[in-house]
Structure 1
Amino acid sequence: MAGKSGRVISAQQQFSIKRSLMKWEAFLLLVFVLVNIMNVCISPYYLSVNGLFTATSSFLEKAFIVLPMAYILLLGEIDISVGATVALSACMLGITYNAGLPMGAAVVVCLLVGTACGLFNGLMLTRFTELAPMILTLGSQILYRGIAEILLTDKGTGGFTAVKWFQNLYWGKIGVVPIMFLIFVICAILFGIVMHKTTFGRWMYAIGSNARAAKYSGIRVQRIRCIVYTLTGAFSAVTAVFLASRMGSVRSNIAEGYELEAISMVVLGGVLTDGGKGNFPGVVIAIFVLGFLRYGLGLANIPSQVMMVIIGLLLIVAVMLPNLAGKIRKSL
C-alpha cells in the first residue's frame, strides 16, 4: 500500500535470518541434531532407515495425546486425566471384543468411550466454571482409572493378535514407513493448520491470552473449551487403539504417566503453561526430541531413573531459557 509520500506500507513481516535463528523452534532443531549425533555415537545400528523408524514407533503412540494437549495448554488449562482415559478406553476395547463384537466395532466403542471421557471433563468445567481444571481432571483421572480397575481387576484381556489388520495399525508398514507414522503426520498437519490458519485457532490464542476479554469480544469461550477437552479425550482413545495393537492385550494399569509425558512435550515445544503463546511446529519437534532422546538412552542401557533426571533437567532449561533471553535483550 503506497501513501502520498511514496512509502510502501506492508502488513507482512519481512523475512529475517537473525529473527528465524532466534526462534524457539530453531533451538529445538539444534537439540534434535545433537540428540541424533549422541545416538549415533551410542549405537552403530542407530543411523539406518529401519532404525530411525523403529525409534519413532517407540514413542509415537503416546504422541497422539500431545496434539490436543497443545490446545489445552494454549487455553491456559491442563488435563491430567488422559492416561486414565487411555486405560479405560483400551479396557473397553478388550472387553467388547472378547464379548463377541467384531474388532472394528470394538475400536468404535473405544473411540466413543474416550470421547465421552473428554466430553465429561469439558461439560463439568464449562458448567461449573469455578472448578480448577487441574482439580477436576485429577478427580476424573481417579474416576476413569478406578472404573478400569473395576472392569478388569488385576487381570488382562487380549487376543488382539488374531486380527491381522488391527495388529498392522502399529506393526504394519508401507514400504519402510510405519502406518502409524503416516497417520501421525496427517494428524499433526491438520492440528497445525487449525491452530495457525483458522478462526478456531485465533479464538484459542485469544482465550489463552485473556479469557474475559475474549468472552466480551463475542467468542464462545465455554463452547471452545468443551470442544478442546472432548478432542483430547478422543485422541486419548486413538492412543489406546495403537497401544492395544502393539501389546496384543490390555490391563487397567497401562498408560500410567502418559499425562506428564504429554505435558512435558508440549512445554518443551514452547507452548506456555499460562496460555496464549506457542507454535505448533515446536510441539512436533519436541515430540521427536524427547522421543529420540529416550530411545537413545535406552540403547545405552541408561536406567529409567537417570532418564527422568536428564529429561527433567532439559525441561527446566526449556522453561528458563525464554525468560533469560528476554532479560538479556532488555539489558542490551
Structure 2
Amino acid sequence: MTTAPQATGRQIPDRLMSPTRRALKSWEMLLFVVAVGIFVANSLASPYFLDPWNLSDASFNFTEKALIAFAMAMLIIAGEIDLSVASIIALASTAMGAAMIAGAPVPVLVAVGLGTGVLCGAFNGLLVARFGLPSIVVTIGTMSLFRGLSYIALGDGAYTGYPAGFGWFGQGYVWWVFSFELVLFALFAVVFYVLLHRTNFGRAVYVIGNNATAARFSGIRVDRIRFMLFVLTGLMSGIAAVCLTSRLGSTRPSIAMGWELEAVTMVVLGGVSILGGSGSIPGVVIAALVMGLVTFGLGLLNVPGIVMSIIIGALLIGVIALPRLWRMLRK
C-alpha cells in the first residue's frame, strides 16, 4: 500500500533559484530600496536637495571613502583587515606637502601621494604575509605609526599653497555636474567588479576567505595574494589622499581622522561578511550611496557632526548584529 507524498515544507536553496529571484531576495536589493527611500525622504525634507549641483556636492561625502572601501572589501573577503587606511592618507598628504614645498610640479605630487600609499600598503602586507602577524594587530600599530610620522613632520602646522592645477583632482568637473571624483568612483567600481567577480584572482580571494588552508593545498599562493591586497589598499588610500588634499587645498596631521571606521562601515553595510568569504562590489557601491545620502541629508538639516558619527557607529553595530539576530529569530 502506497501513501501519497507529503509536502516537506523545505525552502528552495538560493543556488537553485532563478537569477531574478535571487536578485530580488539579495542584500543588495534591500540596500537599493533603502537608498531610494532615503532619497525620497531627503527630497521631502529639504527643497534644496534635488538641485543638480547640490546632488553633485553630495558625492564628495562618499567618493573618497568609497575608493578605499573597494580595496578594503576585497581585503575583508580574504579574511584580513586594514585599519591604517586613514593614517596612510595623512602620511601620503604630508609627503605631498613636503614635495610641494620643495618645488615639485603637479605630476610629481600625484606620484609622491600614490607612491607613499603603495609603500605603506607594502609594509603592512610584508608584516602580515611574510611574518604571519595578525592583520588587525599590525594595522592598529601602523595606524599610530603613520599618523605619528605626520605629526612629527608638521606638529600643529599645515602645508598650504598647492599649485592651482593640483586643485582639479578634488574640485574639478569632467562634464556638467559630474566631478572628477565621481567619474573616478564609477570607473573604479567597474574595475573592482571585474577584478573580484570576473577573474581568477577574485575567485582566489573568495577561496582564501573561506578556507586559507584549503586554498594553499589547491595551489593558490595565499601569502602573495594577501600581500597584493594590502598593496592595493595602500594604493587606493594614496588615490584618496590625492583627491582629499586637492579638495581641501591643505595638509594637516589630523586629515581623514576616523575614516577607517567609515570605510569598514561602508564595506560591512554593503553585505561583505566581517569574517570573510562573502560579499560583492555592487553592495559596496550601493552602501556608499546610502551613507552619502544619509550624511548629506543630515547636513542639509543642520544636524551636528557628532550625531552623524553616532549614526555611523550605530549602522556598523546594527549591520553586524542584524544577520545573527535574524537567524536566532528564525530558529
TM-score (norm 2): 0.91
The more displaced of 235-244 and 58-67 is: 58-67
Match of 2:67 in 1: 64
Does the CA-based 8 Å contact 1:148-1:252 persist in structure 2?
yes
Match of 2:232 in 1: 231
Deviation at 1:260, TM superposition (A): 0.7
Provide the C-alpha distance between the structure 2 equivalents of 1:132 and 1:200, rounded to a whole number of angstroms.
22
Match of 2:83 in 1: 80
Does the CA-based 8 Å contact 2:82-2:135 persist in structure 1?
yes
Residue deviations 1:263-303, cap 9 Å, x none? 00000000001110111100110011011101111111112
1:185 aligns with 2:193: no
Does the CA-based 8 Å contact 2:67-2:185 persist in structure 1?
yes
Residue deviations 1:109-136, cap 9 Å, x none? 111111000000001111211x211111
TM-score (norm 1): 0.91
Provide the C-alpha distance between the structure 1 equivalents of 2:284 and 2:61, rounded to a whole number of angstroms.
18
Aligned length: 316
Match of 1:113 in 2: 116
Match of 1:312 in 2: 313
SS at match of 1:272: coil
Does the CA-based 8 Å contact 1:79-1:137 persist in structure 2?
yes
Provide the C-alpha distance between the structure 1 equivalents of 2:159 and 2:312, rounded to a whole number of angstroms.
33
1:284 aligns with 2:301: no
Match of 2:168 in 1: 168
Residue deviations 1:131-182, cap 9 Å, x none? 211111111111111111111111101211x423x21112111122111111
1:148-297 pair list within 5 angstroms: 148-160=150-162, 162-164=163-165, 166-173=166-173, 174-297=175-298
**In the alignment, residue 252 of structure 1 is paired with which amino acid?**
P
1:97-108 pair list within 5 angstroms: 97-108=100-111
SS at match of 1:323: helix
Provide the C-alpha distance between the structure 1 equivalents of 2:273 and 2:19, rounded to a whole number of angstroms.
24
The more displaced of 106-115 and 12-21 is: 12-21
Residue deviations 1:210-259, cap 9 Å, x none? 01110111100000000000011111110110111111110111111111
Q: Percent identity?
A: 43
**What residue ranges of structure 2 are gaps of 5+ in the alignment?**
1-14
Deviation at 1:184, TM superposition (A): 1.2
Provide the C-alpha distance between the structure 1 equivalents of 2:61 and 2:23, rounded to a whole number of angstroms.
31
Provide the C-alpha distance between the structure 2 equivalents of 1:14 and 1:307, rounded to a whole number of angstroms.
39
CA RMSD of aligned residues (A): 1.6
Provide the C-alpha distance between the structure 2 equivalents of 1:107 and 1:158, rounded to a whole number of angstroms.
16
Deviation at 1:325, TM superposition (A): 4.3
**In the alignment, residue 106 of structure 1 is paired with which amino acid?**
L
1:128 aligns with 2:148: no
**What residue ranges of structure 1 are gaps of 5+ in the alignment?**
1-11
Deviation at 1:17, TM superposition (A): 4.2
Cα distance, 1:285–1:295 mapped onto 2, change above 3 Å: same
Match of 1:94 in 2: 97
Does the CA-based 8 Å contact 2:216-2:222 persist in structure 1?
yes
Deviation at 1:308, TM superposition (A): 2.5
Does the CA-based 8 Å contact 2:76-2:274 persist in structure 1?
yes
Provide the C-alpha distance between the structure 1 equivalents of 2:213 and 2:186, rounded to a whole number of angstroms.
35
**In the alignment, residue 132 of structure 1 is paired with which amino acid?**
P
Provide the C-alpha distance between the structure 2 equivalents of 1:13 and 1:49, rounded to a whole number of angstroms.
43
